[in-house]
Amino acid sequence: MNRTPFYKPSLAWFAALGSVWVFVLVLLGAFTTSIGAGMAFADWPLSNGSLNPPGWLSDLAMFSEHSHRLSAAVMSTITYIIGVWIWRTEERPWLRRLALFAAILVIAQAVVGGLRVLFDHLPIASLETSVGRLFAMLHAILAQTFVCALFAVALACSRPWIEAHAGLKGTIGARTTAAGRWCVALLFLQLAVAAVMRHSFAGLAIPTFPLTPEDGLWPTHWDFRVAIHFTHRLLAVAITGALAYYGHVLWRDAAVSRAMRALWAGIAGLLAVQIYLGAQIIWTGRHASMTTAHVGVGALTLATTFVLVMLTHRDWFGRTNPAA
């Protein structure tokens, strides 16, 4: 088969499908955690020893966990198809490596998810958790990495990236690219902290918002759960400032296209929604729908920011024409 770097509509659309389906997986995983159904089945990879366990369609906990497992199987299949497709038709080495990384990551994610179930019965008394919950935290963190990998693959296969060179009007300034990298790093750190908080049952460790129960900005009582929860709030403030600064330098950079500025405006909108959902989690006593939406919007904010930063680093990836 001829391997060229030119735009391939079928591959582009299939890669886009992967970047959409990953959010089905993220939302199902978030809902499963939100209703405490992560251990609806004590075995893995089967569910109660079956691919189609009795009663899973009528029991919410079983339905959410088994649906999550089935959607993960679909996601794995999509990822492998994309990987093989890219390896057979693409000559861009970095894209081939990225597709391989995504394929390895989906395997690792499945294994870590399985270990979360199989080792949940082993307690860690000093941390007031279990070995399985530590794997659950890692599972949630790897999920964010996987989302970014799939979005990067979809972007690299898209027509704007290949033919229109992402709308660049020159070389993006170093301050702009650095600000974007910091935003991605802070968002990823925030989602990692959120994963630890969620699986440490610390979502309501500070049960009021925006002030503490003592009507202050600083907690008067401290333990691990309060500390991880408060760190999550502080990082939200830091991310708001970082994204505001990023928007400022984007608007002042003459090489930045109108589409990139519009993408930043969308990220700012997602951030506003995310802050609102975070407040609603506290005000509703951690309602499952609010928690699930908060996880989903958080992942989308990270992925969209990652795409924008990737666009501003377009020159780093080299040209996509046959002479590259």
Q: Give per-residue pLDDT as tens, 132-189.
A: 999 999 999 999 999 999 999 999 999 988 876 544 456 889 999 999 999 999 999 9
pLDDT at 75 over 90: yes
Place of tokens 């649906």: 67
Which tokens in the block code for residue 239? 């991310």
**Are residues 136 and 190 located together in one domain of the fold?**
no
Q: What's the pTM value of the predicted model, to 2 decimals?
A: 0.92
* Contacts for 224 with CB less than 8 Å, ≥ 6 apart: 127, 128, 200, 202
Last residue of a domain, one of 116, 145, 163: 163
Which tokens in the block code for residue 203? 């979502």
**Are residues 127 and 62 located together in one domain of the fold?**
yes
Last residue of a domain, one of 163, 194, 209: 163
Residue 50 gets which letter from DSSP?
B
Which tokens in the block code for residue 250? 């984007």
**Are residues 147 and 2 located together in one domain of the fold?**
yes
Last residue of a domain, one of 163, 198, 222: 163
Rounded CA gap, 267 and 272, in Å?
A: 9
Give the count of beta carbons closer than 10 Å to the beta carbon of residue 258.
9
For 180-227, write each residue's pLDDT tens digit: 999 999 999 999 999 999 999 999 999 999 999 999 999 999 999 999
**Are residues 177 and 70 located together in one domain of the fold?**
no
Under 8 Å between Cβ of 121 and 130: yes
**Are residues 221 and 245 located together in one domain of the fold?**
yes
Give the count of beta carbons closer than 10 Å to the beta carbon of residue 49.
8
**Are residues 104 and 208 located together in one domain of the fold?**
no
Under 8 Å between Cβ of 82 and 18: yes
Rounded CA gap, 310 and 314, in Å?
A: 6
| Contacts within 8 Å (CB) and 24+ apart, 51-59 | none
Collapsing DSSP to helix, strand or coil, 253 comes out as: coil
**Are residues 125 and 145 located together in one domain of the fold?**
yes
**Are residues 157 and 196 located together in one domain of the fold?**
no
What pLDDT is stored for residue 224 in this prediction?
Answer: 93
**Are residues 140 and 267 located together in one domain of the fold?**
no
**Are residues 124 and 9 located together in one domain of the fold?**
yes
Tell me which residue of 14, 76, 18 sits closest to 45, measured CA to CA. Answer: 76
Domain of residue 267: give its range.
167-324
Rounded CA gap, 104 and 44, in Å?
A: 19
Question: How many independent structural domains does the chain possess?
Answer: 2
**Are residues 230 and 183 located together in one domain of the fold?**
yes
**Dihedral pair phi/psi, residue 174, rounded to 5°:** -65, -35
Give the count of beta carbons closer than 10 Å to the beta carbon of residue 18.
21
**Are residues 144 and 220 located together in one domain of the fold?**
no
